[in-house]
Structure 1
Amino acid sequence: MIWFLLLIVLFAFMMGFFQVPIWIMYGVLVGVLILILYRNPLIFGKDAEKIMAYLKKSKAPYMQFLFHFLNGDLSAAEQVMGKIRSKKSKRNSELMLLMEKKQYGKAKELLREMGGHKTKWYALSDIAIKESDLEAFKQNKAKITDTFFLNMLEVDQAVDDGKKDEAVGLLDSMIPKLRGYKLLTAVQYRKHILEGRVDEF
C-alpha cells in the first residue's frame, strides 16, 4: 500500500513537472482514489468470504481484531486489541468485546465517553433490548437514521424474543442489499444464530 501511495505522489510530481493542467491532475487523482475505494472489499465487497479473507490477510491490528471477533474467537481478538494504535478503533473494539461478553454496565460507561453517533445509539438501543428497558430503547432508537442499524435492531429484538427463524429471515432479506463490512456482519450474525451461538435473554 505504501509503495502504491509513493507511486501516486511520483505520478503527481511528473504531471506537475510536465505542466499538465491542474484540472487533469485533480481528475486523475480523484479517479485513482475512487478506484482504490471501489476495490476495497470492506467498502464495496459483495462476497462475504472474500471480505473475510481480506481481513485474515491484513496485517493491520484492527483488521485482525475484526477477523477474530467475527469468527467468535474473543480471546484472540482481545490479544490483538492491545496492538491497535488508533484510540477510536481501540475504543470500538473494546465496546464490541464488552457487548459480546454481555458486560453491559461497562459498555454503558464506555459509551458515555464516546461522542453521539449511530454506533453509540445502536449499542445503547441493543443494551436496552437486553435489559428490557423500553423507554431507553425508544429514546436511543429515535436517534438512529441508518437503515442498516434499524434493521439490525429488529434482528436483535427477534433473537431476544426467541424468534430465531424470524431473525434469520430478516437477515436473509437484508443480505442481498448489503456491501462490504455491513454484509460480512450480517452474514456472520446469521451464521452464529444458525449455529446456536446467539442466545435469547
Structure 2
Amino acid sequence: MIWFLLLVVLFAFLMGFFQVPIWIMYGVLVVVLILILYRNPLIFGKDAEKIMAYLKKSKAPYIQFLYHFLNGNLSAAEQVRGKIRSKKSKRSSELMLLMERKQYGKAKELLREMAGHKTKWYALSDIAINEGDVDAFKQYKAKITDTFFLNMLEVDQAVYVGKKEEAVRLLDSLIPKLRGYKLLTAVQYRKHILEGRV
C-alpha cells in the first residue's frame, strides 16, 4: 500500500511538472479513489467470505488481529496484537479482547482513557447490559447515534436475556443492509450465537 501511495504522489508531481490541466488531475484523483475503495472490501464489500479472505491474506497486524478475533482464536489475536504499531488500533484491539473475555473492570479502565466516541459508548452500553445496570445502559445508549450500534445493542440484550432465536432474527434482518466490516461483524456474531459460543 505504501508503494501505491508513493506512486500516486510521484504521478501527481509529474502531472504538476508537465502542467496537466486541473480537470485531468481531478479526474485521475477520482479514478484512484474509486480503485482504492473497490479493492478494499472492508469498506463496501457485500460478500462476508471475500471480506474474511481479504483479512486472512492481509499482512497488516491490525487486519490480522481482526481475522483471528472474528474467528474466535483469541490466543493468536493476542500474539498479533503485540505487532500493532498504531496506538489507537492497539487500544481498540485490547478493548475487544477484554470485552470478549468478559473482563469488564479492566475494559472500563481502558475506556476512561479513550475519547468520547460511538465505539466507547457502545462498549459501555454492552458492559452495562452484562452487569445488569439499567440506568448506566440508558445513559450510554442515549449518546449513540449510529443505527448499526443501536441494532447491535438490541441483539446483545436479546442474547443476555437468553432469547438467542430473537437475536438471530434481528441479525438476519440487519445483515442484508450492511456492507464491509459491519457486515462481517454481524455475520460472525450470528455464527457464534448459532454455535453456542455466546
Q: Shorter-chain TM-score: which interval?
A: over 0.9
Q: Which moved more, 1:20-29 or 1:114-123?
A: 20-29
Q: Which moved more, 1:175-184 or 1:29-38?
A: 29-38
Which amino acid letter does the alignment assign opposite residue 8 of structure 1? V
| Corresponding residue for residue 49 of structure 2 | 49
| Corresponding residue for residue 157 of structure 1 | 157
Matching of residues 25-40 of structure 1 within 5 Å: 25-40=25-40
Q: Deviations over 1:63-91 (max 9, x none)?
A: 01000000000011011101100000000
| Corresponding residue for residue 182 of structure 2 | 182
Local SS of the residue matching 1:193: helix
Local SS of the residue matching 1:102: coil
Alignment RMSD (CA, Å):
1.1
How far did residue 18 of structure 1 move?
2.1
Q: Are 2:113 and 1:117 equivalent residues in the alignment?
A: no
Matching of residues 16-27 of structure 1 within 5 Å: 16-27=16-27
How far did residue 7 of structure 1 move?
2.4
Aligned length in residues: 198
| Corresponding residue for residue 79 of structure 1 | 79
Local SS of the residue matching 1:19: coil
Which amino acid letter does the alignment assign opposite residue 153 of structure 1? L
Matching of residues 59-78 of structure 1 within 5 Å: 59-78=59-78
How far did residue 10 of structure 1 move?
2.7
Matching of residues 89-128 of structure 1 within 5 Å: 89-128=89-128
How far did residue 162 of structure 1 move?
0.4
How far did residue 31 of structure 1 move?
2.9
Which amino acid letter does the alignment assign opposite residue 87 of structure 1? K
Q: Are 2:194 and 1:194 equivalent residues in the alignment?
A: yes
Which amino acid letter does the alignment assign opposite residue 60 of structure 2? A
Which amino acid letter does the alignment assign opposite residue 104 of structure 1? Y
Structure 2 portions without partners, runs of 5+:
none
How far did residue 163 of structure 1 move?
0.4
How far did residue 22 of structure 1 move?
2.4
Q: Deviations over 1:93-114 (max 9, x none)?
A: 0000000000000000000000
Identity %: 90
TM-score, length of structure 1 as denominator length: 0.95
Which amino acid letter does the alignment assign opposite residue 57 of structure 1? K
Distance 2:2 2:188 in 1: 31
Structure 1 portions without partners, runs of 5+:
none
Distance 1:74 1:14 in 2: 47
